[in-house]
Structure 1
Amino acid sequence: MARSSSGIVAGLTVAALAAVGFLAFQASANVPDTLGKPAASVSAEPSASKAAPRAKKDPAALPAASGSGVRVVYSTGADRVWLVGAGNKVKRTFGVTPGTVDPAVGTYAVTSRTGATPGSDGTQIEHVVRFTEVDSVSVGFSAAVSGSTEAPDPEKKVGGIRASRANGDAMWAFATVGAKVVVVK
C-alpha cells in the first residue's frame, strides 16, 4: 500500500510543478496592454519624438534627442542601442538586428525579462528584455543562443531585436524591470 501512495504523491508533485511552470510562462507572456506603452505625458516629450541626429563623423554617437537619465536608447533608423548610465555617459553601444515589427518612437519601461525561451521565429534565445507590444507582438531585446544575428523572415511578425551574446549579456545586466527605454528614429 505504501508503494502505490508514494507513486501517487510523486505524480501529483510532477503535475503541480508542471502547472506552476505553465502559469509562470502565461504570466510573463500576458503582460497587460497598458504596461510598457508610452504615457501621454511622456510620449509628448519633444526629445523622444524627434528624429535623432548623430554626428556624421561618429555614427555610434549617442543621439542628441534621446532623453536624459539612466536609460536604454534604441534607434530604429540606425539599428543601434546605447546603454546610458548616470551623467549621460554611454556605458556601451552596439548594432542590433531588428525584428519585422518596430516600436513607435517614445519612452517605455522594461515590462518583463526571461532568461531563456524559444523566440517567435523558433530560435532558442536568452536574456529577453521586453518593453512594449505592437499589434499583439511583444517587442524587446534578446540574443540567440547560437550567436546568430540573422535578419528574421520578412513575412513573419517578429518583435525580437537581436544582439550578439556578449551584448545580450550587457543588456541583461543593465536593463532590469522598470528600466527606461527610449526609442528614437
Structure 2
Amino acid sequence: MARIAPGPIVAALTTGALAVIGVLAWQASASPDYSGRARARATADAHASIPPSTSPSTSPWSTLSGDAAGLPTASGEGRRVVYSLSEKRVWLVAATGRAQRSFIVAPGSVSPEPGTYAVTSRSDRVTGTDGVPVEYVVRFTSVGGTTIGFSAAVDGSMPTPDTAKRTGGVRENSADGAAMWQFALLGAKIVVVS
C-alpha cells in the first residue's frame, strides 16, 4: 500500500478549515446581532446623509423637511440629534450644522433633563414600556430606572398619555424612526433642550 506524506494532508486540511472559518466570519459580519451593531456598520456609509422628507403627511406628527421648524440656537455643534422638550420636536443635524430632517414626536411620561447625551444602545424591535411593539429603538439615557429613547410603533399607533405609567419612549412615525435609526448610531450625540 502506498503511503502519503503527512505534509500535503495537513496543508489541505488547514486550507479547508481556513476557508470554512472565512465563510462563517463573513456570514456573522453580514447579519445583525440583537442590538443592531452589524446593521449599523453596514448602513453607516450608505446613509451618511439622510434626505429630508419631502412628501406631505397626514400623520399627527407632521413630518417637515430641512430647517422648516427652526433649529434651536443653543443646541450644540457638529453632527447631532437635537430633541426639544417644549416643542416636542427632533432635528437630525449634519456636521455642517444644517438640519437634514425635522419632525414632531410624542414623548413618554418621563423626560430627560436638558443636556448632552450619547446613544448607548439600539434594538431593531422590542416591546415598549407601554406594551406596544416598537422598532428603530435608539436609547440614550435613563431617569429613575426608566430608559429614555426614540422609537416607532410597529402598528403606527400614537401613545395614549398615561401619567400613572412611567414610560420613556419618545415616539416617532415609522419613516422618521427609520431616518433616526440610520442617523443615530452607537455613540452619536443627542442634545436635549428645554
Q: TM-score, normalised by structure 1?
A: 0.68
Given that 1:152 and 1:158 are in contact with CA atoms closer than 8 Å, whether structure 2 keeps it comes out as: no
More helix by share: 1
Q: d(CA) in 1 for partners of 2:148 and 2:141?
A: 5
After superposition, residues 131-170 of structure 1 pair within 5 angstroms as 131-170=140-179
Counterpart of 1:42 in structure 2 is none
C-alpha deviation, 1:152, in angstroms: 3.4
C-alpha deviation, 1:149, in angstroms: 1.9
Q: d(CA) in 2 for partners of 1:162 and 1:179?
A: 19
Q: Please identify the structure whose Cα radius of gyration is greater.
A: 2
C-alpha deviation, 1:147, in angstroms: 0.6
Counterpart of 1:90 in structure 2 is 99
Question: What letter is aligned with 1:170?
Answer: A
User: In structure 1, the residue corresponding to 2:96 is in which secondary structure?
Assistant: helix
Question: What letter is aligned with 1:70?
Answer: R
* Structure 1 position 115 matched with structure 2 position 124: yes
Counterpart of 1:60 in structure 2 is 69
Q: d(CA) in 2 for partners of 1:133 and 1:122?
A: 18
C-alpha deviation, 1:59, in angstroms: 7.4
Query: In 2 relative to 1, CA 151–68 (structure 1 residues): closer, same or farther, beyond 3 Å?
Result: farther
Counterpart of 1:173 in structure 2 is 182
Query: In 2 relative to 1, CA 59–100 (structure 1 residues): closer, same or farther, beyond 3 Å?
Result: farther
User: In structure 2, the residue corresponding to 1:117 is in which secondary structure?
Assistant: strand
Q: d(CA) in 2 for partners of 1:174 and 1:68?
A: 16
Given that 1:69 and 1:86 are in contact with CA atoms closer than 8 Å, whether structure 2 keeps it comes out as: yes
Given that 2:68 and 2:102 are in contact with CA atoms closer than 8 Å, whether structure 1 keeps it comes out as: no
User: In structure 2, the residue corresponding to 1:168 is in which secondary structure?
Assistant: helix
Q: d(CA) in 2 for partners of 1:103 and 1:73?
A: 13
Given that 1:98 and 1:160 are in contact with CA atoms closer than 8 Å, whether structure 2 keeps it comes out as: yes
Given that 1:110 and 1:178 are in contact with CA atoms closer than 8 Å, whether structure 2 keeps it comes out as: yes
User: How many residue pairs are counted as aligned between the two chains?
Assistant: 131
C-alpha deviation, 1:86, in angstroms: 1.7
Q: d(CA) in 1 for partners of 2:193 and 2:142?
A: 16
Counterpart of 1:32 in structure 2 is none
Q: TM-score, normalised by structure 2?
A: 0.65
RMSD of the TM alignment (CA)? 1.6
Given that 1:97 and 1:151 are in contact with CA atoms closer than 8 Å, whether structure 2 keeps it comes out as: no
C-alpha deviation, 1:154, in angstroms: 1.6
- The answer for unaligned runs of 5 or more in structure 1 is 1-23, 29-57
Q: d(CA) in 1 for partners of 2:163 and 2:155?
A: 20
Question: What letter is aligned with 1:109?
Answer: A
User: In structure 2, the residue corresponding to 1:128 is in which secondary structure?
Assistant: strand
Question: What letter is aligned with 1:149?
Answer: M
Q: d(CA) in 2 for partners of 1:149 and 1:67?
A: 29
* Structure 1 position 81 matched with structure 2 position 90: yes
Counterpart of 1:99 in structure 2 is 108
CA deviations over 1:79-125 (Å, ceiling 9, x no partner):
00000002101110000000000000000000000000110110000
- The answer for unaligned runs of 5 or more in structure 2 is 1-32, 36-66
